[in-house]
Amino acid sequence: MATADATGVRAPAWRGGFGRLWSAAVLSSFGDALRGAALPLLAVSLTDEPLLVASVTACGYLPWIVFGLLGGAVADRVDQRRAMWMVDAVRGLLVACFAVAVAFGHASIGLLIALAFALTTLQTLFDNAATALLPALVDREALGSANARLMTGQQIAGGLVAAPVVPLLLVVGAAMPFGVDAVTFLLAAALVASLPTAVPERTPRPTGSTLRREIAEGLRTLRRDRALRALCAATALCNIGVGALIAGLVFLVTGWLGAGAAGYAAATTAYAAGGLTGGTASGRIVARLGRVRAVLLAGTVQTGALVVMGSVRSMVALAAAMAVFGFMGMVWNVNTRTLMQERSPAELLGRVSSAFRTLAVAGAPLGALLGGAVATAWGLNAPALLAAGFFILAVASLIPMLGTDVSVVAPDDGVMTAHAPR
């Protein structure tokens, strides 16, 4: 069910499973942020080669290219709730084993790469299942608000709460962030397992249907939708830049700015704070501009923030730019995900989601490696400027969509009509 909030925006009801899904997502994001902040710091302690550190980031994206489409097809076939809690349980056990290895001094770059690859491989199924499950828990008119609340909660837990905690946990021991992350995975698995067991009705698969044919159907649906096709291309370009930025951020902060681990935590906290504000403001921006125009604005402002990061040698300037980057990043993410859920048939949502994400994320490993390479060749601030260049290309690719800014499936789009709210 949905209710109207104080601003008139349709908001999801916390009952019916959304509250538990939100709690699981927020809890898991807290643990992910601990691990995400600790991994590059651990990598830097093991090697001073930017390209090796960038390889850890690249391998965290690579499984989306290899397994992303398969994960979406599987998500449309199985009980999404069960798939999600089982994946979280396995990820919790993997991270717990890694924490033990770190505690006993057995960490290595190779082990970091293996962990990043394994966790993201499992994430391809989890994320596609979660995207497909949400419309079964909230009404369609509340999807935008539900996505904003999920992402805002994740930003609060993952940035404002988790980032300042990382240095404190590292004082206790290098394994502590990973141990806490393992616990959050297991708790999130328990919450997801308690969701309502009813699964949405699906159209029976044709006789002889195969995973290959089902994956192709998702790709065709994405290709025929003009708005999603353009957004996918733009997101892919942005992700090349984001991959470069993430791979080089720890060197930008600790090396170029000389701010150390505390500065790195401050940068990630500023990003999270900006994302939190962006989540609350996204609905108002969309009400004024429409979803595609809101994404276009977000990419334009993010480009400017990246230029500041790479050209102004000031920790204060970097923190401010990270906050702006996070604000507009949230606007981008909320609206691309909501468009995907609004415009996709329910029985194809996992596959459309996986096709979008696989194509969009494909550039991130390349960006991470490019970030490491340009940092080695031209300086530790070069990855941020490289990222700005790719964001300029992304914004330019969205400009032709200004005349076709729609938020629901239009009759002439050639896309199957979306199902009514359940």
Please list, in sequence order, all residues whose beta carbon lies within 8 angstroms of the beta carbon of residue 396, skipping any fewer than 6 positions away.
none
Cβ neighbours of residue 245 closer than 8 Å, sequence gap 6 or more: 306, 309, 367, 371, 383, 384, 387
Quote the pTM value. Answer: 0.69
Cα torsion for 377, 381, 387, 393, to the nearest 10°?
-80
Percent of the chain with pLDDT over 90: 18
- Of the ranges 66-80, 182-196, 385-399, the best mean pLDDT one: 385-399
pLDDT score for 13: 62
> What is the rounded average pLDDT for all residues in the chain?
79
**List of domains in the chain:** 15-194+214-413 (1.20.1250.20)
Residues 70-99: tens digit of each pLDDT:
777 777 777 778 888 888 899 999 999 999
Range in 116-120, 172-176, 340-344, 365-369 the model is least confident about: 340-344
Task: State the pLDDT at residue 202.
Answer: 54
Q: Which residues, 6+ apart, have CB-to-CB distance to 342 below 8 Å?
A: 140, 143, 407, 408, 409, 418
Q: How confident is the model at residue 200 (pLDDT cuts 50, 70, 90)?
A: low
Residue 272 and residue 157 in contact, taking contact as beta carbons nearer than 8 Å = no
**Which carries the bigger pLDDT value, residue 23 or residue 59?**
23
pLDDT tens-digit series, residues 254-280: 889 888 878 887 888 888 788 888 878
Residue 204: exposure state from Cβ atoms within 10 A (0-12, 13-18, ≥19): exposed
Q: Does the pLDDT at position 11 exceed 70? A: no
Q: What percent of the chain has pLDDT over 70?
A: 86
Tell the residue number behind the tokens 């309502």, with chain if given.
196
The runs of H, that is alpha helices, within 78-175 are: 80-103, 109-137, 143-155, 162-172
Alpha helices in 194-225 (DSSP H): 211-224
Which pLDDT band holds residue 204 (cuts at 50, 70, 90)? Answer: low
Q: Any idea how long the chain is?
A: 422
Question: 282 burial class (0-12, 13-18, 19+ CB within 10 angstroms)?
Answer: buried
How many other C-beta atoms lie within 10 A of the C-beta of residue 284?
A: 12
